[in-house]
Amino acid sequence: MLKILVTGGAGFIGSAVVRHIIRHSQDQVLNLDKLTYAGNLQSLQEVSSDPRYQFVQMDICDQYKVLGELERFQPDVVMHLAAESHVDRSIDGPSAFIQTNIVGTYSLLEACRQYWLQLPHARQQSFRFHHISTDEVYGDLHGTEDLFTETTPYAPSSPYSASKAASDHLVRAWHRTYGLPVLLTNCSNNYGPFHFPEKLIPLVILNALAGKPLPVYGNGQQVRDWLYVEDHASALYCVATRGLVGETYNIGGHNEKKNIEVVESICSLLDELVPQKPGNIEHYRELIQFVQDRPGHDHRYAIDAAKISRDLEWQPAQTFESGLRKTVMWYLQNRDWWQAVLNGSYQMERLGTGVSGE
């Protein structure tokens, strides 16, 4: 039984990790989350009453408070998922990305280093700092056959990906300079339940249900490798508990799709599952609208996940087709969750008496 501290555990991927650990292990989890707009405690209702789960509202930039929680909880593993992650927001306002993704990672690394140095030798040897990053740090691929590997040079394009690249470099530096036992993972595009509605797949689902335009950047030919979030959570737990110190593992879903293909697939599923359509449309794809491309938009991402498959025997359980159907069904069956996000009432959760550490 491990004690695992998860930063950003109220976010999309972080909450999936917390739910996975509580569902599939006997481990204890401490979730540290600042509860910015993307943090949603309603995504954790399934585990909120479990005695193995704790939540503290906290900014990872507050190094001394974080150190206090480390010393109180005594984790064996820190899984660092707290990050600003939306490319469009990073273009409009990069400051928050520099603060959270770079300064926050530095502050967390220093708190963890101080905590780690206090541990007995055996616990120092077994401690792990697992930094969760993105394939966007590699830039984009121009060929149709090339793949990102763990040794692909970094070439970030957006303020978001540049801030994540910087955080990756900090983690590796703390390993080489100070000996902090670290693990890194870089993943492809996630999708699935509890995804904040500003991201492509939930945005298209909810806009289609409301009869609103389905915006597609440029010509929609940008290619992404899609990874079902629960598959990602299982991979992260696998790396955190079995990965080799100092190693990087790329995590992908083996599902390359053009953005327009993703949107059209959602429309086809909704034609099947929700035949009663808004307005006077016959097919949901009639709502598709091509809009001006965003600055510096990467053309293609694709992950080579051979290393994690070979070394840790991990494989995604979902195909894109099965995962997308699960995702669309989840949004149809969980209207209360996304309606609370759309009307902003989910943010009132942080004011509840059950939140400690405010």
The yes-or-no answer on residue 217 being catalytic is no
Q: What residue has token string 């990053």?
A: 133
Task: Give the number of C-alpha atoms closer than 13 A to the C-alpha of residue 328, restricted to the C-beta side.
Answer: 23
Question: How far apart are the C-alpha atoms of 79 and 14, rounded to whole Å?
Answer: 9
Q: Give, as one character, the DSSP assignment of residue 193.
A: T
Contact 310, 17 (CB under 8 A): no
Of the residues 33, 76, 136, 230, only one is catalytic, namely 136
Evaluated on CA atoms 84, 89, 90, 94, the torsion sign reads: negative
Task: Pull the structure tokens for residue 319.
Answer: 């195909």
Encoded tokens for 312: 């840790």
For residue 51, what are the β-bridge partners? none
- Residue pair 57/35 in contact (Cβ under 8 Å)? The answer is yes
Q: Please, are residues 167 and 131 in contact by the beta-carbon 8 Å criterion?
A: yes
Over the range 165-200, which residues count as b (16 or more CB within 10 Å of their CB) and which as e?
bbbbebbeebbeeeebbbbbbbbbbbbbbbbbeebb
In 3-state terms, the chain is what percent helix, strand and coil (to 5)?
Answer: 45, 15, 35
Among the listed residues 53, 106, 115, 160, the single catalytic one is: 160
Based on the residue annotation, tell me whether 135 is a catalytic residue of this protein. Answer: yes
Distances (CA, A) of 263 to 213, 248, 288: 12, 32, 8
DSSP letter for 84, please.
-
Is 160 a known active-site residue?
yes
Q: What is the Cα–Cα distance from 213 to 204, expressed in whole angstroms?
A: 8
For residues 150 and 247, what is the distance between their CA atoms, to the nearest angstrom?
9
Among candidate residues 27, 33, 110, 135, the one labeled active-site is: 135
Containing H/E element for 164?
helix 159-178
CA-CA-CA-CA torsion sign (292, 296, 302, 308): negative
Q: Which residues are catalytic?
A: 135-136, 160
